[in-house]
Structure 1
Amino acid sequence: MTATGTASPVRANFPVRRMDFSFSETPKYWWDGQPFMTQFMNNLASLFPYGEKFFVDSVRAERDRLEDPQLKKDVSAI
Structure 2
Amino acid sequence: MSLPQPPACHLLRTLVHDAYARKLDDGGSPPGDKQQLLDDAGRRQALLRRVRRTLAARRDELSTAASARRGIAEIVDGPRRPG
Instruction: Give TM-score scaled by structure 2 length.
Output: 0.36
Q: Which has the larger radius of gyration?
A: 2
Q: TM-score, normalised by structure 1?
A: 0.38
Structure holding more helix per residue: 2
